[in-house]
Amino acid sequence: MRNIRRVLIANRGEIALRIARACRIVGVESVGIYSEADAGAAHLLVVDQSVCIGPAAPAQSYLDIERVIRAAILMGADAIHPGYGFLSENADFAAAVEQAGLVLIGPDAAVMRLMGDKIAAKKQMRRSGVPCLPGSDDGLPEDAQAMHAIADAIGYPLIIKAANGGGGRGMRVVHDSTGLEAAVVAAREEAGRAFGKRTVYAERYLQHPRHIEVQILADRLGNAVWLGMRDCSIQRRHQKLVEEAPPVGISPEAMYNVGERCVQACRDIGYVGAGTFEFLYEDGTFSFIEMNTRVQVEHPVTEMVTGMDIVREQILIAMGLPLSMTQADINLRGHAIECRITAEDPDTFRPMPGQVEKWHAPGGPGIRVDTQLYDGYTIPPQYDSLIAKIIAHGRDRTDAMERMRAALGEMMIEGVVTTAAFHRRLMDDPAFRKGAVSIHHLETSMKRDGRV
Ligand code: ADP
């Protein structure tokens, strides 16, 4: 048991609010941090105390490890919740938090480091029986002949990926052997620039996969559960825009097999906290691509169909308490869909920050809104443009879509342009309504409609 009385929330926006609410539910105090650009942030009204940690630039505020830890010590916090983005998957940060004698609400630094190295993570997953794509399973060699031999063994098309990558960068699809060397050089360059490490690996490229992921929770006592799966195939430039649970058209047995393997993998690596195993799903087969060692933007759809509070569990796990549920307690009810509303142009997705003159949140049965918006709120240009998550829960998928459609129609934001119009269109897209579209569906249909 570790005593946690006060949690510093090392984040901003809707997730900072979400964490502050969970702290209240658990009965621990919360400390909010904010940059000079976020002095008017809504989460500061829900936390017990708050402190400014620096200028608007993330590098000098939310991404500054030393400042965040100093703020936690200064404010008497005993734990830090990193949310998603910013420092949430930074193993150096996790190590620094541990060294400062504070509790990170997340996995240990060593486990975070392991899963942050995609080559090491994939090897570990293979050992635990989690299905993976055929691939090099080691960094690609510099020697051209050796590289070609590995590529030929995998087969074309293949994808070159950065071992320490993220955000869809450092990836190159290669269709035949003539393009291999140039693609490896380009991927190495990009990886070096973006992640400081030039190691790249290769794996088979899937042409029309869906993105399916498994939410897990694991405590310090060796208990681990999986909370069903989410389908996050509606993506643009590898960014998820809409997520739903459960995925349609995948048999419960197939899901059960993979879910149980993820749970086993958690036990094998000593994983503690909430986490997500991401898979590509094609022709009835799951293939692991990476693990996210944090809470995800799309966690609410899982909460809606399971009735669980994932952020509350994260805090209890960090205290050393057992999970509130066993696998037998996890029964999925109905269907949930989440639309990420961003302050972006609904056609080009160009960021459009500004001042929200008037905001009306939708409501009604099965509607949940996670947002930092209020009348008069100014969206700072320095950060991610996510401003609201609309989540609709219904008896079944059709019911959830109807509720989402009504909610998107009711929602009103004056003063800034948002992607609400994009989401309204999507709810009428016949292929989306049918379900089970691939990760390329959105970009393909946008090209077809001349909206690129
Ligand atoms: P990142 O950490 O940069 O997000 P991922 O490994 O999660 O990298 O891959 C990001 C996206 O790239 C996936 O969601 C998928 O769209 C695409 N992708 C990755 N690996 C493959 C693959 N083997 N075949 C097809 N698409 C892939």
Any atom of ligand 1 within 6 Å of the Cβ of 168: yes
- For ligand 1, atom 10, which residue shows the shortest CA distance? 168
State which of 137, 160, 161, 241 you would mutate to test the pocket of ligand 1, scoring each by most atoms of that ligand within 8 A of its C-beta: 161
> Closest ligand 1 atom, CA of 205?
24
CB 381 within 8 A of CB 339: no
What is the reported pLDDT for 165?
86
For strand 79-81 and strand 103-104, is the pairing parallel, antiparallel, or unpaired?
parallel
CB 272 within 8 A of CB 234: no
> Closest ligand 1 atom, CA of 203?
23
Any atom of ligand 1 within 6 Å of the Cβ of 202: no
Residue type at 126?
R
Any atom of ligand 1 within 6 Å of the Cβ of 174: no
Q: How far is the CA of 210 from the centre of ligand 1 (A)?
A: 11
What is the reported pLDDT for 451?
75
Q: How far is the CA of 117 from the centre of ligand 1 (A)?
A: 14
What is the reported pLDDT for 450?
83
What is the reported pLDDT for 167?
79
Those residues with Cβ within 8 angstroms of residue 239's Cβ, 6 or more apart along the chain or in another chain: 168
| Active centre residues (catalytic) | 294
Q: How far is the CA of 168 from the centre of ligand 1 (A)?
A: 7
What is the reported pLDDT for 140?
96
Any atom of ligand 1 within 6 Å of the Cβ of 211: yes
In the chain (452 residues long), the average pLDDT of successive 10-residue segments reads 93 98 98 98 98 98 98 98 97 98 97 96 96 92 96 96 86 96 95 93 96 98 97 95 98 97 97 98 97 98 98 98 97 98 96 97 98 98 97 98 98 98 98 98 92 72
- Taking CA atoms, 307 is separated from 17, 212, 301, in Å, by 19, 20, 10
- Give DSSP secondary structure letters for 122-154: HHHHHHTT--B--B--SPPPS-HHHHHHHHHHH
DSSP H helices, 47-117, are 65-74, 91-99, 109-116
Q: How far is the CA of 169 from the centre of ligand 1 (A)?
A: 9
What is the reported pLDDT for 343?
98
Residues forming a β-bridge with 358: 414
Task: Decide: helix, strand or coil at residue 16.
Answer: helix
Q: How far is the CA of 209 from the centre of ligand 1 (A)?
A: 10
Cα–Cα distance, 447 to 354 (Å, whole number): 28
> Closest ligand 1 atom, CA of 204?
23
Any atom of ligand 1 within 6 Å of the Cβ of 203: yes
State which of 132, 212, 280, 298 you would mutate to test the pocket of ligand 1, scoring each by most atoms of that ligand within 8 A of its C-beta: 280
Query: With DSSP H G I counted as helix, E B as strand and the rest as coil, what are the percentages for the chain, rounded to 5?
Result: 35, 25, 40
For strand 239-245 and strand 224-236, is the pairing parallel, antiparallel, or unpaired?
antiparallel
446: tokens are 């946008």
Specify the pTM: 0.97
**Torsion over CA: 270, 25, 245, 210 (sign):** negative
Q: How far is the CA of 119 from the centre of ligand 1 (A)?
A: 14
- For ligand 1, atom 6, which residue shows the shortest CA distance? 289
CB 201 within 8 A of CB 160: yes
- For ligand 1, atom 1, which residue shows the shortest CA distance? 166
Any atom of ligand 1 within 6 Å of the Cβ of 238: yes
Cα–Cα distance, 269 to 418 (Å, whole number): 41
| Angle (deg, nearest 10), helices 109-116 and 118-127 | 100
